[in-house]
Amino acid sequence: MNEAGPADGRAGAGRRPWVVGVSGASGTPYAAAVLRGLLAAGESVDLVVSRAARLTLRDETGVSFRDGHWESDLAAWLSRGADGTEGAFAPELSRVRYWPAGDLAAGPSSGSYPARGMVIVPASTASVAGVALGLSKDLLQRAASVTLKERRPLVVVVRETPLNGPTLRQLVALDEAGAVVLPASPAFYAGAGDLQELVDFVAGRALDAMGVEHALYRRWRGELGGAARSAGHS
């Protein structure tokens, strides 16, 4: 087993983390917002970042993600706002455990590992296909397959447009297998005033599907015009 990170209380008795898989689709701010939301809720996290996701992260944020420096790289990533503002957030990372994507002997690769469930955010069409077909080419796919077979919650935040026939059929297969298919589709009724609020809406919907409490967006209250009033428009 090749676990990255200190072997301390993060692996203690009673720890039941959410596995967060980050694939190579565009949308790394969604992953950052979900991670911050889980940590703010007091949840433990096991993080898996695919090889393709590292390239996307570097392209979208300028942050490199390296196995040997994952803690400092993760801190740099999660501190950035969706608009690239550095130091916008200061999440506490002590409840995060990182597993390299190539480590198929990692904890989340086994059904006996005590995880709460998993979210793939963003989910590329390649990761959707791999999970739908039951492949295990890396730890992200294997952990998702384990999550399904153990009947744990799996939320797939797919980020692609347009969607072709094969991908649509694979998404239906995931739904039939028990996963929640959650497209990264921001809504506007919450009165979002900037890019971060649009990102947080999608992250909040993912956390809703996972049953994790948060305050990332204004919920619908059955009152027309609420978004305009919250934004200060007449």
Question: Is position 94 annotated in a ligand binding site?
Answer: no
pLDDT score for 110: 98
Cα angle for residues 223, 226, 229 (degrees, 5° grid) = 145
- Contact between residue 11 and residue 63 where contact means Cβ atoms under 8 Å apart: no
Domain locations along the chain: 24-218+226-230
Question: Is position 50 annotated in a ligand binding site?
Answer: yes
Question: Is position 23 annotated in a ligand binding site?
Answer: no
Question: Is position 26 annotated in a ligand binding site?
Answer: yes
pLDDT digits (tens, 9 = 90+) for 12-32: 569 999 999 999 999 999 999
Over the Cα atoms of the chain, what is R_g? 17
Question: Is position 24 annotated in a ligand binding site?
Answer: yes
Q: Give the residue, 190 or 134, on which the prediction is more confident.
A: 134
Question: Is position 7 annotated in a ligand binding site?
Answer: no
Selection from 174, 208, 147 nearest residue 21 by Cα: 147
Question: Is position 112 annotated in a ligand binding site?
Answer: no
49 in the Ramachandran plot: left (φ > 0), alpha (ψ -120 to 50) or beta?
beta
pLDDT digits (tens, 9 = 90+) for 89-110: 999 999 999 999 999 999 999 9
pLDDT score for 8: 39
Question: Can you give 153-209 as a three-state secondary structure string?
Answer: CEEEEECCCCCCHHHHHHHHHHHHCCCEECCCCCCCCCCCCCHHHHHHHHHHHHHHH
Query: Average pLDDT for residues 161-184, to the nearest whole number?
Result: 98
Question: Is position 125 annotated in a ligand binding site?
Answer: yes
Selection from 86, 108, 109, 101 nearest residue 32 by Cα: 86
- Contact between residue 27 and residue 121 where contact means Cβ atoms under 8 Å apart: yes
Beta carbons within 8 Å of 81's beta carbon, 6+ residues apart = 88, 89, 195, 196
Cβ density class 219-231: b for 16+ within 10 Å, e for less: eeeeeeebbeeee
What is the reported pTM?
A: 0.91
14 in the Ramachandran plot: left (φ > 0), alpha (ψ -120 to 50) or beta?
left
Question: Is position 25 annotated in a ligand binding site?
Answer: yes
The CATH classification number of 24-218+226-230 equals 3.40.50.1950
Question: Is position 80 annotated in a ligand binding site?
Answer: no
